[in-house]
Chain A
């Protein structure tokens, strides 16, 4: 079992604000780090897969960085919009692709 942690647990921001949250994971035997966005009543949707130390990925206003040596990844959202409201999950695979998830960060963007 892998201990993957996320913080904060929840976040309320005003529309237009930028925000970020953290995922920490065991740095030993690292394979990859996956970020998902999960909107209410929908399936979790893949955002990024990160593998290399120092990796930075970007998708529109959302970006993520990875530090495998210290075992953390940051997810950034620039200029938050109400449609960004969702739970953001990170997962670290073990034994190939058995995912171990954090508890998620619930983001609410207030118009």
Chain B
């Protein structure tokens, strides 16, 4: 009964390739996120989707594009991969309307992307 699941867990690919990471949540949350955690372990927001609308888009290269087919899914597509894209990418979800007393964001297990 995984709450937030993302696939794949590991992804090794060559520079210039295009890849996608999938994320699904079964918590009924209305907001989903993509975070990037670099080698210094700093967790940085990339995108946020609320009810299928992009509401936050930090200074992320346009090679990265989030796609949300429905409220429970937020996939991350990356074009023309570069060496600097190597990192761990985490999907997360939360609820804005106060339904869950904890109000926390819950994370998937992460995707370790290595670009060679």
Partners in one complex: no
Residues of B within 8 A of A (CB): none
Residues of A within 8 A of B (CB): none
